[in-house]
Amino acid sequence: MSPSVPLQEMIRAIRSARTQCEERGVIQRECAAIRAQFRQADNGGRSHNLAKLLYVHMLGYPAHFGQMECVRMIASPRYSEKRVGYLGAMMLLDEKQDASLLITNSIKNDLSHSNQYVQSLALCTLACMGSAEMCRDLAPEIDRLLRASNSYIKKKAALCAVHIVRKVHDLGELFAPAARSLLAEKNHGVLHGAVVLIIELCERNPETLERFRKTVPDLVQIMKGLVLSGYSPEHDVAGISDPFLQVRILRLLRILGHNNEGASDAMNDLLAQVATNTDSTKTVGNAVLYETVLTVLDIKSESGLRVLAVNILGRFLLNNDRNIRYIAMTSLQKIVGTDHNAVQRHRGTIVDCLKDQDASVKRRALELSLALVSASNVRSMMKELLLFLSSCPAELKAHAASGIFNAAERYAPSQRWHIDTILHVLTTAGGDVRDETVPNLIQLITNASELHCYTVHKLYRALLTDISQQSLVQVACWCIGEYGDLLLRGECQETEAVQVTEDDVLDALETVLQSHMSSPATRGFALTATMKLSTRITDNVDRIRSIVSIYGSCIDVELQQRAVEYNALFKKI
């Protein structure tokens, strides 16, 4: 049996291993030694051994053989052993392991230990990995501790109660009275725990929520005390007095005021006070403001207060801190449906965020911008969105394209604008649009009869520039096939005309047919378009005939079929 080394030496040995293999070797040796030590009777180094095992466990190696040792250590009278034993239990045992039941008794005993630090270990472990049975078993004990102990224990008991309620919902009723009385405590740790417990109880049971509404005045008082109090060294964070507690209370107020006029009225003044008095130069102040805004927007607040809240979000949008801009946008996204006009006022800033460097901020700005498009601003918004589309990260392109299409369909001021917009999207992000875009666009073009000339000229020019975007090429081919006569006529009201000969058009279509960039579907479009032109042109029918007959022996079955069918049509003419 090799001698076991102290914890820190073992860590050093593991770290100095140069390869994975070497590391495994060291760990195997150590684990063997630890196992041997576990089998021995009580010796002084038990806590060291378990600590070593826990370190090894964190590196990812199996440590289940330490579970029983944890159980034994927890039962030890020595604090150092209990401490590591409980830590081991939290790391190695969870409610699914059988061994976890074995520690229930130890926890029960330790909960009534004379030393509060031992009680604390038991409470912490129970709140971390207590199973439903353990919770049921120990709930009365926790309730007792909630009522009669010092603040150190009370605050831990409160969070233990939270865990118990999460595991066994019915036990909520047991803790409600104690939770209520804890609100009168002065100790911030206990208050915080009480608020968390009340939140948990209210979220699970609407009747309990009703009863706790009566506490709104008390909560308002506590908040006032925090906001208006002078500097308190114990709880101050950058000038804010206990921001963690403030945020929690605001959260509870939100739950209590939601859908309830009376409760919302009672907290109105306080919320206005917090919103105006909280210093927003540091993150911590903004954290409190953020929570306040969320509360205002979720309860039945006065319109003035709501406007104040949205304005705070507007200010957040201009903040240098990227995080603040991000959460401003997520919040605005939630209310863009209900408070549309208020959010519209900040449209300019939101659109500017499309140019932000950060991908998360960009994504949020896109969502929000799309939600803000309306009939009155569609032209300017679309300009910005199309600009965004041309330079946005790849993962956002598809979403942006479909969002633009939806917005264009809903608010297009004119058909020509609509067609232009879709063409623009196809040119910049043709590869990222959905399949139904092509038939949709064809439908749109068909319906805009006055624009056929304009459209075919535009698409022809686009085709000459770039034949890589399949959706665009398909629509262009279809258009040329359908309205080729308008293209060849040369004149066009809406756009400057270009002299296009029949050969030019057929050249363009042949280029598409022959290009390796064209997909089979695209080739199909091009071939059909070529065929259609045979009825619209006069001089080059032979050329068309020869193109079509070539594809009669094409490898692609679909193309071959079409070509053969078209050939047959020719013979009939």
Partner 1 sequence: MMRFLLLFSRQGKLRLQKWFTPMSEREKKKIIRDMTTMVLARQPRSCNFLHWKDLKIIYKRYASLFFCLAIENQENELIALEVIHRYVELLDKYFGNVCELDIIFNFEKAYFILDEFLMGGEIQETSKQMVNRSIEASDMLQETMEEYMSKPAF
For partner 1, give the closer residue by CB, 129 or 378.
129
CB of 119: closest distance to partner 1 in angstroms? Answer: 12
CB of 516: closest distance to partner 1 in angstroms? Answer: 35
Cα–Cα distance, 188 to 237 (Å, whole number):
14
Backbone φ, ψ for residue 240 (5° rounding):
-100, 135
CB of 213: closest distance to partner 1 in angstroms? Answer: 20
Q: Which three-class secondary structure state does DSSP give residue 236?
A: strand
Cα–Cα distance, 54 to 32 (Å, whole number):
14
- 241's enclosing H/E stretch is strand 240-241
Contacts of 166 (CB under 8 A, 6+ apart): 200
Contacts of 77 (CB under 8 A, 6+ apart): none
Q: Which three-class secondary structure state does DSSP give residue 566?
A: helix
Q: Which three-class secondary structure state does DSSP give residue 237?
A: strand
CB of 117: closest distance to partner 1 in angstroms? Answer: 5
Radius of gyration of the chain (CA): 36
CB of 463: closest distance to partner 1 in angstroms? Answer: 39
For partner 1, give the closer residue by CB, 280 or 540.
280
CB of 412: closest distance to partner 1 in angstroms? Answer: 33
For partner 1, give the closer residue by CB, 84 or 178.
84
Residue 461 and residue 479 in contact, taking contact as beta carbons nearer than 8 Å: no
For partner 1, give the closer residue by CB, 327 or 462.
327
Task: Taking each helix axis as running N to C, give the angle between helix 303-317 and helix 322-335, from 0 to 180 degrees, rounded to the nearest 10.
Answer: 140
For partner 1, give the closer residue by CB, 98 or 234.
234
Cα–Cα distance, 300 to 257 (Å, whole number):
7
Cα–Cα distance, 451 to 235 (Å, whole number):
70
For partner 1, give the closer residue by CB, 88 or 430.
88
Characterize 433-447 residue by residue with b for buried, 16 or more Cβ atoms within 10 angstroms of its Cβ, and e for exposed. beeebbebbeebbee
The 10 Å Cβ neighbour count of residue 374 is 14
| DSSP result, 105-123 | HHHHHHHT-SSHHHHHHHH
For partner 1, give the closer residue by CB, 59 or 498.
59
Handedness of CA 453, 454, 455, 458 (dihedral sign): positive
- Residue 456 vs residues 188, 372, 421, 450, 526: alpha-carbon distances, Å: 73, 32, 15, 11, 14
CB of 326: closest distance to partner 1 in angstroms? Answer: 5
CB of 222: closest distance to partner 1 in angstroms? Answer: 13
Residue 239 and residue 281 in contact, taking contact as beta carbons nearer than 8 Å: no
CB of 215: closest distance to partner 1 in angstroms? Answer: 19
CB of 40: closest distance to partner 1 in angstroms? Answer: 15
For partner 1, give the closer residue by CB, 315 or 545.
315
Cα–Cα distance, 316 to 322 (Å, whole number):
9
CB of 247: closest distance to partner 1 in angstroms? Answer: 5
Report CA 250 to chain centroid distance, whole Å: 23
For partner 1, give the closer residue by CB, 294 or 459.
294
For partner 1, give the closer residue by CB, 244 or 417.
244
For partner 1, give the closer residue by CB, 56 or 372.
56
